[in-house]
Amino acid sequence: MSQPRGVAGPGQDRRPTGILHAVTAKRAPNSAAASKNITKRIQELGDWRGVTLARVRQLIHDADPEIQEEWKWMGTPVWSHDGIVCTGESYKQVVKLTFARGASLEDPRKLFNSSLEGNTRRAIDIREGEKLHEAAFKKLIRSAVDANSAARTQRASSKSPKK
């Protein structure tokens, strides 16, 4: 199986490089601390999971430069824009990206491959050596941001005083 770009093959250095510090979080008061924690997590993983999480992080920022990084639930990287867009968790066999509103998003490339039974969330499990369709992933990020923004607008309009 061919290695995805940015993933070391057997016997190669597997430490994540390059994009760790290229990403800077925006606006939220705790974003700088969250960004440092995410970078630290990527470095601590030190294997294909760190490389994968670093690449996904860069794709998320490429898709939405206004995304905010958060560190929640005792150590989970979270990317938010008008609400949670997705989380990034690392397990022994997978890097899991869970989309808070995933069930309501169009997924024509069938990136969602986990947590498919629920009514709200959907997840993408990435295993060692698997390639992520980067253009489709960035489109999914933008769709999730749009869904959050629409929900926020709807909540705001329902709270406005009636005339």
Q: What is the pLDDT of residues 16-50, one digit of tens each?
A: 444 444 444 444 557 899 999 999 999 999 999 99
Query: pTM for this structure?
Result: 0.80
What ranges do the domains of the chain cover? 31-158
What confidence category does residue 152 fall into, taking pLDDT thresholds of 50, 70 and 90?
confident
Measure the CA–CA gap between 119 and 103, rounded to whole angstroms: 6
| 25 contacts 32 by C-beta, under 8 angstroms | yes
What fold characterizes domain 31-158? Aspartate Aminotransferase, domain 1 (3.90.1150)
The CA–CA distances, whole Å, from 2 to 106, 130, 151 equal 28, 8, 40
Q: Which two tokens stand for residue 108?
A: 């024509």
> Does 123 score more than 90 pLDDT?
yes
Question: What percentage of residues in the chain have a pLDDT greater than 70?
Answer: 80
Give the pLDDT confidence of 67-106 residue by residue, as tens digits.
999 999 889 999 999 999 999 999 999 999 999 999 999 9
Using the predicted structure, report yes or no on whether residue 163 has a pLDDT greater than 60: no
